[in-house]
Amino acid sequence: MGDLLGVAVLGAGHMGADHIRRLDEVVSGARVAAVADPDVDRAKAASAGRDGVSVHTDPLAALDAPGVAAVLIASPGPAHEEALLAAFARGLPVLCEKPMVPDSAGALRIVEAEARLGRRLAQIGFMRRFDAGYRRLKSLLDDGSLGRPLMLHCVHRNVSSPAGFTSAMLINSSVSHEIDAARWLLGQELTAVTVVRPASSAGAPQGLSDPQFALFETERGALVDVEVFVNCGFGYQVRCEAVCEAGSARIGDEHTMVVTARGGAAQEVAQDYLVRFADAYDREVQAWVDATRRGEVTGPTVWDGYAASVVAEAGVRSLENGGRVPVELASRPELYTEPGR
């Protein structure tokens, strides 16, 4: 095990448990060295049968556990700021699931803390940048063969929302992926957002405004629209179409298995994000491990996490108060490159 990157995984819920499995069974060059979760039984269950893993209820104890050389943060968003700052203080490379920090003020504190270090330690978990379809679309837009991008049309649907999901979370949790994907695909910052609501679906829990429609403006005049519908009832769907001056390209229509029988045909529809983006998560974590073992940090930056928080907050203000809300970002530290570069 001495040649493997020892990773402390913070959070052993749905996402954290999947990352523990991934590090142990899929990714090469790494091992799970420690797991932390306030629910010790859940942490033990997620790490059961995996050799050399210490279990903790205190995330800071996991960071200081023997053999830990890097951190994967998959705990709830409100716990991320403390964990990131603790990792920075210890000089530990981090892969942090989104949202980096739920509020923009906290996200800016992370930006400032990493900038003071003078080097990157954190990669933020916007895994769509590692999805094969998104990567093909990014290459196509970058090579310029379709001309200047004018619009992105995006769809984000879930079977059902978890307990406690709020109307604001459709923007700051679900649409945050589209916010980062749009910045990355277009290589532009988002400058304003308008959120409108059709009549809520009968399948939405009482009081939840679902679906919603968000319109984002960019610094060079492109428009991005997002339909988000988290109680569609039939499956998990993510699509994106780029409309350019000389053509268009759409991803997310890839066919899974189609069964034909008894005079009809049926196509499988993924039921959650861990199925739809399984390959993207695998590539994301493998890329992080490989870069960390080389002494490098690549992938989405802390600045990307901050920008997504600011745009999402503007979207929530538009949802709650109506109208167009400008996006106001702090000055970008020299440590961070332009979006999409």
- pLDDT of amino acid 339: 52
Class of residue 252 by CB neighbours under 10 A (exposed 0-12, middle 13-18, buried 19+): middle
Averages of pLDDT over runs of 10 residues in the chain (341 residues) are: 89 96 97 98 96 97 98 96 98 96 96 97 97 96 97 97 95 96 97 97 96 98 98 94 97 77 81 86 98 96 97 97 97 80 45
Q: How many angstroms separate the CA atoms of 150 and 296, rounded?
A: 35
- pLDDT of amino acid 275: 84
Given a contact cutoff of 8 angstroms between Cβ atoms, the answer to whether 88 and 60 are in contact is no
Given a contact cutoff of 8 angstroms between Cβ atoms, the answer to whether 64 and 6 are in contact is no
Instruction: List pLDDT tens digits, range 65-82.
Output: 999 999 999 999 999 999
Spell out the domains of the chain, with CATH numbers in brackets: 5-128+279-301 (3.40.50.720), 132-276+305-326 (3.30.360.10)
- pLDDT of amino acid 337: 76
- pLDDT of amino acid 217: 98
Which residues are within 8 A (CB) of 60 and not within 5 positions of it... i.e. 6 or more apart?
86
- pLDDT of amino acid 340: 44
